């Protein structure tokens, strides 16, 4: 159990701190270039892992369309709007908005696709989760059309589209190896992100420093590649219920990391909002947690 707890903490740190390092990299690198760089580093790291573990890379090529769909919706679009959105809001707030994914997934699978049964508790969880997000963002920021609201809308749209992409890809490419699949996703996304970077920015004019190189390497290798491998190891060894705790820890890691590393403020209403979001997400997934 100790190893599983350590894996849980590791994955949570990896995925939660990425929002902090995006902020650090964007101090000297344009947003799209930051995302393209970390995608490429993550792809190369996962490719090495796939080769070392002797994964069936060539055999998975038949799922290219599903991989392309998720590369566009689940990585490229998400990472672009996160990169742009963090120009306006804190790393801590960005990490909390990860909670949009299970909320949107609930809406799609229950009310649109009807893959999951409707429950009053689940609906209550959705309402509670949205209320928590409103509290975290701040009613004043929502009512006023300020730059913070722009950042929240960008990142919320990203995690919403990520949820859609995940559902579509699950239907198109079920039973694929997660490490190989993510290698394909990230490789395709790298091409897309670099294309956007060269169209809207000037990557070749980027001034590289020890700080931004370190941030890119951390995001690509630690936050993305190793975090993903550890999470799926945890999923196989401990099951979905225990592994899902990662998504409860990400907002805490992002918020605390933003406070300690970037000197971002933590307000009492934000802490209360995070706790309310946790309650909402738990209520939505309560039956799955019981089965886990």
The length of the chain, given as a count of residues: 292
User: For residue 159, what are the domain limits?
Assistant: 2-98+147-264
Average pLDDT (122-132) is 89
User: Is 114 inside a domain boundary?
Assistant: no
How far apart CA 90 and CA 147 sit, in angstroms, is: 12
pLDDT at res. 172: 85
Quote the percentage of the chain above a pLDDT of 70. Answer: 93
- pLDDT category of residue 135 using cuts at 50, 70 and 90: confident
On whether the CB atoms of residues 216 and 25 are closer than 8 A, the answer is yes
User: Is 132 inside a domain boundary?
Assistant: no
CB within 8 Å of 283: residues ≥ 6 apart: 121, 122, 124, 125, 128, 129
Alpha helix positions (H), 29-177: 31-52, 64-70, 77-85, 91-96, 100-107, 120-137, 139-143, 147-172
**Residue 263 in tokens:** 């000197």
62: left (phi over 0), alpha (psi -120 to 50) or beta: alpha
- pLDDT category of residue 288 using cuts at 50, 70 and 90: low
C-alpha 121: how far from chain center? 26
User: Is 58 inside a domain boundary?
Assistant: yes
pLDDT at res. 22: 96
User: Is 112 inside a domain boundary?
Assistant: no
Quote the percentage of the chain above a pLDDT of 90. Answer: 54
For the ranges 78-82, 144-148, 246-250, 288-292, the lowest mean pLDDT is seen at 288-292
Say how many domains are in the chain. Answer: 1
User: Is 109 inside a domain boundary?
Assistant: no
pLDDT at res. 252: 87
User: Is 203 inside a domain boundary?
Assistant: yes
Over the stretch 159-170, which tens digit does the pLDDT of each residue have?
999 989 988 988
pTM: 0.89
The conformation of residue 134, written as its DSSP 8-state character, comes to: H
- pLDDT category of residue 245 using cuts at 50, 70 and 90: confident
Over the stretch 20-69, which tens digit does the pLDDT of each residue have?
999 999 999 999 999 999 999 999 999 999 999 999 999 999 999 999 99
Closest listed residue to residue 151, CA positions, set 73, 92, 212 = 92
Specify the residue for token string 């949107």.
Answer: 104
User: Is 278 inside a domain boundary?
Assistant: no
User: Is 105 inside a domain boundary?
Assistant: no
State the distance between the two ends of the chain, measured CA to CA, in whole angstroms.
16
Closest listed residue to residue 95, CA positions, set 106, 107, 84, 82 = 82
C-alpha 51: how far from chain center? 25
């Amino acid at each position: 159990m100790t190893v599983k707890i350590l894996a849980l903490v590791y994955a949570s740190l990896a995925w939660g701190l990425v929002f902090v390092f995006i902020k650090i990299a964007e101090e000297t690198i344009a947003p799209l270039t930051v995302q393209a760089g970390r995608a490429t580093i993550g792809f190369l790291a996962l490719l090495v892992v796939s080769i070392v573990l002797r994964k069936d890379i060539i055999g998975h090529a038949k799922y290219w369309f599903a991989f392309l769909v998720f590369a566009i919706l689940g990585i490229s679009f998400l990472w672009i709007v996160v990169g742009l959105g963090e120009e306006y809001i804190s790393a801590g707030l960005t990490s909390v908005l990860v909670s949009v994914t299970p909320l949107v997934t609930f809406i799609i699978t229950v009310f649109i696709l009807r893959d999951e049964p409707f429950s009053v508790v689940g609906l209550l969880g959705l309402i509670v989760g949205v209320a928590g997000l409103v509290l975290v963002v701040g009613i004043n920021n929502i009512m006023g059309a300020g730059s913070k609201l722009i950042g929240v809308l960008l990142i919320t749209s990203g995690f919403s589209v990520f949820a859609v992409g995940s559902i579509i890809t699950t239907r198109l490419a079920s039973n694929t190896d997660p490490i190989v699949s993510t290698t394909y996703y990230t490789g395709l996304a790298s091409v897309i992100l670099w294309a956007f970077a060269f169209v809207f920015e000037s990557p070749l004019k980027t001034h590289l420093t020890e700080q931004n190189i370190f941030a890119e390497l951390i995001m690509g290798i630690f936050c993305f590649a190793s975090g993903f491998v550890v999470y799926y190891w945890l999923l196989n060894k401990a099951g979905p219920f225990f592994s899902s705790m990662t998504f409860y820890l990400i907002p805490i890691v992002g918020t605390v990391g933003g406070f300690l590393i970037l000197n971002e403020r933590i307000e009492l209403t934000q802490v209360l909002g995070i706790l309310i979001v946790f309650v909402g997400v738990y209520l939505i997934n309560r039956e799955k947690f019981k089965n886990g």
